[in-house]
Amino acid sequence: MDHRQEQSVRHFDHCPWLFAGDATEEQRAAQLVRQRAVGGDTEIGERCYVAESAAVFPDRLRLGDDSYIAAHAYVTGELTTGPHCTLNPFTTVRGAVALGDGVRIGAHTSLLGFNHSMSPDRPVFRQPLIQRGITVGDDVWIGSHVVVVDGVTIGDHCVIGAGAVVTRDLPDWTVAAGNPARPLRDRRDTGAGPRPGRGTGDPARFADTARAQAPDLLARHWDGHRYADRAGAAPTVRAHCDAVEIADLLLGTAPPQLGPDEHIRRLADAQDPGTGLVPEFGEPLPAVAEDGFVGEGSAVYHILSVGYALDLLGAAFPHPVRGVSDMTARQLVMRLAGLPWRTGAWGAGAWIDAWATAAHWNLRREDDDTGALDTLFGWLLTHVDPWSGMWGSPSPEAGRLQVVNGYYRLTRGSFAQFGVPVPYPERVVDAVLDHSRDPRHFGAGQENACNVLDVVHPLWLCSRQLRAGAGGDGYRSAEIGAWAERQLALALPRWQDGRGFGFGPGDAGPGAEPGLQGTEMWLTIVWYLADLLGRSAELGYRPRGVHRPEPVRQGTGVAGGGAPAVRR
């Protein structure tokens, strides 16, 4: 190879976008040899380029058409890209990383789809690795010298400024920068005019206030050993889990009162090895029924709260939930048929939420089940009321309260958690909007966190599903937006400086005094309301625990061969 050709190869390595138009036939043949020499399970698309100087040692590589890996890039682990993706010079991509279509990654950027454990019982280099992976959507520009850490999802159409350290999920259209990276604006907001919902207050200022006050708020609820929901109240398991969720939302870390490993140890040790249940502090294990599971009580909700708190901390339940893993399909059908659908649809939905979430944790441990999960979806799909899209019956005393609140719990744990489209979404929107006008539950001063969450989540879930299926603005979107705008305007002023949110009035829940439960729930509600209005990026946080918007399992094979998750 003469000096001119050597310079040309070096030039292509650093400017690979020129290769398709300028390379000689000899250089094209040499590039195919280079691509075939990449080890591991590798498939490289048409018109791609892999620099000679790049260190590409994948376990699995899927490089989409018209993509390139430039000079001195370092690639290991499992990398999947769509077409038109670029890894510019000195990019590092390690662990499990999935890029959508048209992703541009600037020079010296690192996408690290794995992490070290760091418990104090051994040196870091002897710690096991943990891996959640990184997912990047379509049409994303990640600037130079950016670091994206394990477990992060970056939505479609995002732009990440140079030098950012991305530690949290970013929704679609976010422009973000800083260390840690924070949303600056919506990319679609060109300044040409106000975006929908601008009259609802200032979500960004609210979030900045909550973030600044979060450390003191968490400290208020720490008695030196455990967390209590309110001052003077007894410590509870849920309070500890709410503290973990609030810290993750606002600080991106574990609560500072304990190290992450100690949080994990305490929550994991609370699980009974025999049943897989977590009783309340100082209480005995609940008695299980003949089918091996329980019907109600704090241990049922702890399947959600403790499981997701551990998940946020990078851990998991150490034991399976036996009453779910051992339950047969026949036993499940008998349990479902016996739930109080006419008199207590909320309790019925809450039971399904807990059972399905336990099934999710068990599947994560074993990636197998007895078929009962398919039975659950089959039963639900054949027993839904086609006139309302819901389960259960309204009552003269409470209207649709039990039905709507039960719908949220039921679909959160089943359809939303497993990425399965809900049936009859238009009818659900009709029923929920009708319920939201009931003055008994949504009159002046009547809204509590439970009732508002149980309306906003179904509206969000169904409107996203309908929009994804039909395009455009979606079914009754103007009414949904007006309701969300009003509720967001009411919610933001409820924050009490240094104390957070109270749950709200009414007999259900802990009451109006600010506490961890009310704070965690209203922070979630604010996000969903803002997202319905296209303003969630202003908050700089996104739920990742019990109330996360994304499915935790996609393409699971349940409900008729793995119905696809709703694309957001």
Residue 290 falls within a domain, yes or no? yes
Shared domain check, 267 and 143: no
Asked whether residue 210 is assigned to any structural domain, the reply reads: no
Host H or E run for residue 148: strand 147-148
SS3 (DSSP) at 56: strand
Helix or strand or coil: residue 350?
helix
* Domain co-membership, 150 together with 249: no
Identify the CATH number of the domain in which residue 15 sits: 2.160.10.10
Q: Tell me the C-alpha distance between 54 and 337, whole Å.
A: 60
pLDDT of residue 557: 43
Domain hosting 88: range is 3-186
In terms of domains, do 38 and 175 share one?
A: yes
pLDDT value at residue 427: 96
* Residue 309 is assigned to a structural domain of this protein: yes
User: Total domain count for the chain?
Assistant: 2
354 within domain boundaries = no
Task: Say if residue 180 is preceded by a cis peptide, omega within 30 of 0.
Answer: yes
Give the end of a domain, one of 289, 323, 357: 323
**From the CB of residue 380, how many other CB atoms can be counted at a distance below 10 Å?**
21
- Shared domain for 240 and 155, answered yes or no, is no
Note whether 11 and 78 are same-domain residues.
yes
- Choose the final residue of a domain: 186, 217, 248: 186
DSSP 433-475: HHHHT-HHHHSTTT--HHHHHHHHHHHHHHHHHHHHHH-TT-T
Domain boundary among 264, 298, 323: 323
pTM: 0.68
| Burial (Cβ within 10 Å: 0-12, 13-18, ≥19) of residue 319 | middle
**Same domain, yes or no: 180 and 73:** yes
- Asked if residue 301 and residue 175 are part of one domain, the reply reads no
pLDDT at position 125 is 82
**Has residue 17 been placed in a domain?**
yes
Give the residues of the chain that fall short of pLDDT 70: 1-7, 190-201, 367-370, 469-473, 506-508, 553-568
What does the pLDDT read at residue 192?
44
Residue 258 lies inside a defined structural domain of this protein: yes
Let me know if residue 516 belongs to a domain. Answer: no
> Which sign does the torsion angle of CA 262, 357, 368, 416 carry?
negative
Q: Is residue 515 part of a domain?
A: no
What was the pLDDT predicted at 225?
Answer: 95
